[in-house]
Amino acid sequence: MGHSSSPLFGPGLLWPNDGPSQLLLSTCSLFVCNILYADDILLLAPTVTLLDRLFTTCEVELTYDMAVNSKKSCCLHVGSCCDGPCNNLCTSGRHLIPWVDEIRYLGLFIVRSHIFKCSLDHAKRSFYRAVNGIFGRIGRTASKEVILELIKSKCLPILRYSLEACPLNKTSLRSLDFSVNLFFMKLFNTSDIQTVTECQLIFGFNLPSAIIADRSKIFRIKYDSCNNFLFNLSRLSS
């Protein structure tokens, strides 16, 4: 869906394989790239200097009938020096693009950290909101089977959205499982985790950690078999 003719460069700082070749720069074997999905673009660079060069190049490509939306654009630092100050990027119209602690890109919230890390707080809040909406309307009238099927089909996808492609540690996976366990405690009016586990087995309700593990295997197979420039680049750098 992404294309180099998208109308506005949206939040975050990434381009498709059919983008202009001059957008690919290399310095001392360090690559920068741009991935574009519809009107959302994210620029990746190992240094602020290269990021500024890539950003300027993108602005030149947009000179004719498109523009950078500075109000929806921001910078995020991921790496060993993420706590240090960085100079703000500036558009050709003299609008500053600030450095932030968190950005949203395609529904995922990426946070400033020493390693690539996604925040799960927004997903968990959305999950609780969806669960409470269903439970508040039919919790006292529908059967347990109906409620759990609705939670499985409508709420679990919110909680695990795109997480099969993200590096999650055990703590993050346990926090996702706890969100589901907390709902089961409310639904079955119990605080015993053993009872919750037995209920999940009886109703065939898999925890997010198990679902994400299975989906991650499928994602890895597709990833390894993909003949894409960005994927090949990541293999070279790994």
Q: Where are the domains of the chain?
A: 8-117, 120-223
Residue 215 corresponds to which tokens in the numbers above?
């989906």
What region does 189 belong to: left with phi over 0, alpha with psi -120 to 50, or beta? left
Say if strands 67-68 and 8-9 run parallel, antiparallel, or are unpaired.
parallel
Please name the amino acid found at residue 224: D
Whole-prediction pTM: 0.75
Q: Please tell me the predicted confidence (pLDDT) of residue 175.
A: 96
Of the candidates 49, 62, 71, 83, which has an alpha carbon nearest to the alpha carbon of residue 19? 62
Residue 155 CB contacts under 8 Å (≥ 6 apart), including other chains: 127, 130, 131, 134
Amino acid 91 reads T
Per-residue pLDDT of the chain (238 residues; tens, 9 = 90+): 333 333 333 333 333 333 333 333 333 335 567 777 777 788 888 888 888 888 888 888 777 777 788 888 889 998 888 887 888 888 888 888 889 999 998 888 999 988 888 999 999 999 999 999 998 888 778 999 999 999 999 999 999 999 998 889 999 999 999 999 999 999 999 999 999 999 999 999 999 999 999 999 998 888 778 776 656 655 555 5
As a whole number of angstroms, the distance between CA 149 and CA 94 comes to 53
